[in-house]
Homo-oligomer: A and B are copies of this chain.
Amino acid sequence: MSKLVIVGTVAFDAIETPFGKTDKILGGAATFIGLAASYFNIDAAAVSVVGGDFPQEYLDLLANKNIDISGIEIVKDGKTFFWKGRYHNDMNSRDTLITELNTLADFSPVVPGDYKDAEVVMLGNLHPLVQASVLDQITNKPKMVILDTMNFWMDCALDDLLNVIKRVDVITINDEEARQLTGEYSLLVAAEKIQTMGPKYVVIKKGEHGALLFHKDQAFYAPALPLKEVFDPTGAGDTFAGGFAGYLAKTNDFSFENMKQAVIYGSTLASFCVEKFGTERTQNLSNKEVYERLLQFKQLTQFEIEIA
């Protein structure tokens, strides 16, 4: 088993979908990643910042999932990062209504002492300089560094982003972002180009169309499970990343074959995430229901081919 350190936001989200709306609820990349990774009962720590307005019960929730929260700084006289968004009817696109950076604006991450030798590092979506600062604090060479990012940083901090991308093993990115980063429409060509920028592995997330893993001339495709209803997509990408990183940390096996399994676990956990608002579904998962959904993935994708 490897230790996993996660950096990312711990935040308030307010969400509107065609199915309903929430007040401020628990959100943030590190939250979703941490909850997904905690499914594997590994040693994990979250590095983040919140304000004095952040409820103790949310911190307790993370701690009770065996997530080390000593790296979550509490700025007593500050406010917690807040995002409010509204999903369109297709649930694939959304408008950001409010973004209040608050304490995140001056966030200077501090990795807890016990996690400076973490073997797996998950850099959740944040300013690339913050992601780089976490890497600078890792004393041993990690077995695997995974970076998630988004188009926002390509638009306004591209050089910093390219610098941190050089230092990671895996990048997770969505299809449009992969195209933006490389100027290539074909995801296969885009993934090849990204591999020349640093990451040996490229995971391209396609939302309802699943996820692709690329490495050299190998490719692996995991569909998204067809669902009757997508209730709230918020955090699905982070939950995918948390399942992916958590499975690798748990199994301590970084082969391509095992990364395929990590992609399937990530997709499985993400398929739960979208069924309810926020973290509600992901924080209450039994082994049995995860196992049943893994079997569904198997039935959905596995076949025997006979040569006709």
- Chain A residues within 8 Å of B, Cβ to Cβ: 40, 89-91, 185-189, 191, 206, 209-210, 212, 218-221, 223, 226-230, 247, 250-251, 257, 260-261, 264-265, 291, 294, 297-308
Q: What is the count of identical protomers in the complex?
A: 2
Picked from B40, B218, B308, the residue with its CB within 8 Å of the CB of A251 is: B308
Do B261 and A304 have beta carbons less than 8 Å apart? yes
Q: Cα distance A305–B226 when bound, in Å? A: 19
- The prevalent SS among residues of A at the interface is mixed
Do B300 and A220 have beta carbons less than 8 Å apart? yes
Do B185 and A301 have beta carbons less than 8 Å apart? no
Other contacts beyond A89-B185, A220-B299: 4, CB < 8 A:
A188-B227, A219-B300, A257-B303, A261-B303
Interface centre among A206, A221, A228, A291 (most CB of B within 10 A): A221
Do A210 and B189 have beta carbons less than 8 Å apart? no
Picked from B206, B209, B299, B305, the residue with its CB within 8 Å of the CB of A298 is: B305
Q: Given A206-B209, A307-B291, decide whether A187 and B226 contact each other with a Cβ distance below 8 A.
A: yes
Q: Cα distance A219–B257 when bound, in Å? A: 24
The 7 closest A-B pairs by CB, nearest first: A209-B209, A188-B226, A221-B223, A260-B303, A221-B300, A301-B301, A250-B308
What residues of chain B lie closer than 8 Å to A299, measured between beta carbons?
Answer: 218-220
What residues of chain B lie closer than 8 Å to A261, measured between beta carbons?
Answer: 303-306
Min distance, Cβ A301 to any Cβ of chain B, angstroms: 5
Do B301 and A305 have beta carbons less than 8 Å apart? no
What residues of chain B lie closer than 8 Å to A218, measured between beta carbons?
Answer: 299
Q: Given A226-B212, A300-B221, A302-B302, decide whether A247 and B308 contact each other with a Cβ distance below 8 A.
A: yes
Q: Cα distance A18–B142 when bound, in Å? A: 44
What residues of chain B lie closer than 8 Å to A257, measured between beta carbons?
Answer: 303-304
